[in-house]
Structure 1
Amino acid sequence: MVQNNLLAELNAGQFSGAALGHVQAILSDITSAISAANAAVSTFGNTAGAEQTLRASQLSIINAVNSDPVLANPAPATPLPTAPAPAPHNLAEIGEMFDYVASQILGGVNDGNRAEITDDINAVISDMQALMTANPELFDGLTGVHADTIVRQLQLELVYINDPTISPTAAQASSDNILDIIKIVQSDANLADMATQDGVGGFSPLPDATGPAPKYLDSGVQTVFLAHFIAQSNSLGKQAVDLAGSQDAGAIAALIDDLRAFEKSVTDFDASQGATLGAEIAAMIKGLQTGNVALVTAAADQMHGNAADIGGHNIPVTGGTFNTDGVTVAEVLGTVAEVPPVAENSAASTPAVQQVVAPTISVEPVAVATADVSIGEVDHAQSGIPELAHHLHHTWG
């Protein structure tokens, strides 16, 4: 083996000058040692002479190596080049695969295509995560929150298409979920730009899904739940922005507890759909813990955007519209009445103020969670709550 390795190095031109002569001498010594060993075995004679020859060859080889600085201190072997890791797919390429999957899902999931769709969605999730990890600078702020939301929505899609007991409402939510992912990309200028590169486009809008979204008239339970959702989204977001970077560990810890409790309340409400406030809450908590004001602000903006989206697509039981900037349930449900201005020189002159009055919901009152209004007790199985969850689940991804 030693002989073969030295011959290979010699033939590769690895040695020159004095080192070349010494290697040739070493090869000669090795040849003598091999011949002596073979002769002793084949003839069963002169073992002592063979041992002396082997010993002499060994000493000669050691001397040749030690007397030559090149052989005594060989340069480290150059490692074989390794193939570079493939670059992650860009968002346009990922989006192109998503479009293919979306066309299959919207066409109908069945036992014949379920496994393929599942594999493709998992591939899109992996590629999205790899792209975000390799290029964090592309996913700063709100764009990062949106990208994380897309990953979570895709994970939610796996639940929809692989749960054999999924309800008809949730089955429809699968299609809505796909449309929501497209909307997230197309509504974020950074993502929309990255989704079209080098002639490749993905997350493409569907021509038959561009009509205005319908508005839903809510029941009493739905009205207060949504008012609570809107108020908490805005209030917690504002608190987080105020605390971000403050180093007030106690207040930050308390707010993080409130954020997790809020997420749980929404998740419990929409348990049949599997939706959560995951991306926004996770980003906000990370920003609070690391002092990243920009990340907290982006998450708060997204939560307020969710509140505005919900308020814009639902009508309170009392009529009118939700005040999507409110930070209490009373403000979200309130009617605004301006106080008439007082005469300019009047001693009672004071700045005009706005009075917010919560509307009356005429049912037997019972307390609802931590909301600051009350509503009547309602049978949730017949209240339209599942339909409300279906209409709104996408904003909680």
Structure 2
Amino acid sequence: VQQQILGEIHNDNHLSAALANVTFMATTGANDVAFQATPAGADDAASLAAATAGNSLAAVGQVFNAAADLALGGISPANLGQVTTDLTAVESGINNILNNKTMLAQIEKGETANAAALTTIHLQTVATQVALQLNKYDAMEAQGSNLALRGTADNLLDSIDIVQNDAALNVAAGGNGNAGHIGGFAEMPGGLMGTVTKFQDNQVQTNFWAAFLAEANTINATLQKIATGGAAATQTLITQIHNYQQFGANFDAAQGAIFQARFDNELLSGTLEADSANAIKGLTGILNGDQGAALAADKAMIAAAGQGFHADAADVSGNNIPVNGGTYVGTAVTVATATSINGTAKGTIPVTATPNIANGTGGTAAAGTTTTPGGHGHDGDDAAAAAAAKAGTAASHATAASHAMVTMQDLMHAEAVAHQMHWA
């Protein structure tokens, strides 16, 4: 019905012309008009073949738009096959681009070595997020899971954010370099204004975010030193990064379905995974004696990964409130100083191979910290989604009941608000 309304308005020259004269900066960062159309996509046989081939990010993006438009109305048994076909083509196309050095060079032409490496990481992140969508959320949502609505909304919009806010990817996908509705991976319609309410963490989650944030900054600092010749690559650092990545993924899994729906694309399959893989690859190359152009590529790769670690940790922790109030400190390098009220979080870094997941601590178990039933652990995206959905329930956010009657469109609109705080 909504698409029919949009069609009626945009097919009327007088109405569409009048609306085009009154634009506003939407919560997505794009310039919208009232009754903003959804992204233009295509998933006919020719479009699917072009996307799969991976000869053009714009072609891949057109099919992604088609899938995202379908998801906006909700994934159901009726359209699951179509969504799966579309996203499979997208996944194949992106991976084919990543495996084609000539294509990557075209996309990253004019960027510095470090910026080009970061663009590659961004594209890898989108690929892993599409895989997450295919392997987990599509089928769950088609079966009626409200939690899958949460995961799909955040996952797809995060992919859009990544492309739209990376100028090289934006242009390669058919955009003009600025976030907007042009080309592939286009912004969804956004609201004029919105409020993102931060969620209150319990002690365990406060411990985790403090450790996650502080170690991200220490890893980043070390990687930048190695990239500029101020420190040496070591196997110990590789092990540390592996432990850190596993800490994030395992904590995500232990927190339950709602937490996973929000943070899977950050902690399980997405930014953390891509940053870790690139850091380890670059460090391994250096340790193996790479020289010349290969060594320069290794250094650019680890510098970009380090930036990614910092941005991801500051991003996901920055929308939550520590257990006793205050804020998380984005530049902290110790657990104790990772909250504005120093000493709120317990635990140590670096994360060990056997962290205390139940306490949210990376090293030795912190005294007096146990899992609090019903804790939130979501960031502001969840609050925006909950506000938009207006779910009629007084149940805890730690129960699926709180998400009853949430629609994909509700969540997508709410996520568009929240993701403006979400990009770093």
Corresponding residue of 2:375: 383
Q: Is the counterpart of residue 255 in structure 1 residue 237 in structure 2?
A: yes
> How much has 1:293 moved relative to structure 2?
1.1
Corresponding residue of 2:320: 314
Q: Is the 8 A contact 1:231 1:327 kept in 2?
A: yes
Amino acid at match of 1:254: T
Higher helix share: 1
Equivalent of 2:307, from 280, 283, 301? 301
Corresponding residue of 1:180: 158
CA shift in 2, pair 1:209/1:281, >3 Å: farther
> How much has 1:178 moved relative to structure 2?
0.8
> How much has 1:242 moved relative to structure 2?
2.6
1: CA distance between counterparts of 2:169 and 2:221? 26
Q: Is the counterpart of residue 191 in structure 1 residue 169 in structure 2?
A: yes
Equivalent of 1:266, from 248, 270, 289? 248
CA shift in 2, pair 1:227/1:245, >3 Å: same
1: CA distance between counterparts of 2:282 and 2:60? 28
What is the count of residue pairs matched by the alignment? Answer: 283
Map 1:72-91; keep pairs closer than 5 Å. Answer: 88-91=54-57
> How much has 1:122 moved relative to structure 2?
0.7
1: CA distance between counterparts of 2:335 and 2:319? 17
Corresponding residue of 2:131: 155
Of structures 1 and 2, the larger Rg is shown by 1
2: CA distance between counterparts of 1:173 and 1:381? 22
Map 1:126-275; keep pairs closer than 5 Å. Answer: 126-134=92-100, 135-137=103-105, 138-139=107-108, 140-158=116-134, 159-163=136-140, 168-196=146-174, 201-208=183-190, 211=194, 213-244=196-227, 252-271=234-253, 272=257, 273=260, 274=264, 275=268
Indicate the structure whose relative CO is greater, using CA pairs within 8 Å and at least 6 residues apart: 2
Unaligned 5+ residue runs, structure 2? 1-51, 109-115, 287-297, 347-357, 384-418
Corresponding residue of 1:79: none
CA shift in 2, pair 1:202/1:367, >3 Å: closer
> How much has 1:280 moved relative to structure 2?
0.6
2: CA distance between counterparts of 1:180 and 1:368? 25
SS in 1 for 2:99: helix
Return the TM-score normalized by structure 2.
Answer: 0.59
Identity among equivalent pairs (%): 32
2: CA distance between counterparts of 1:238 and 1:297? 9
> How much has 1:244 moved relative to structure 2?
4.5
Amino acid at match of 1:358: G
Q: Is the 8 A contact 2:214 2:335 kept in 1?
A: yes
Corresponding residue of 1:33: none
Equivalent of 2:67, from 78, 85, 101? 101
Q: Is the 8 A contact 1:220 1:375 kept in 2?
A: no
Q: Is the 8 A contact 2:319 2:379 kept in 1?
A: no
Amino acid at match of 1:168: N
> How much has 1:108 moved relative to structure 2?
0.8
> How much has 1:119 moved relative to structure 2?
1.2
2: CA distance between counterparts of 1:390 and 1:266? 19
2: CA distance between counterparts of 1:288 and 1:330? 29
Unaligned 5+ residue runs, structure 1? 1-85, 336-356
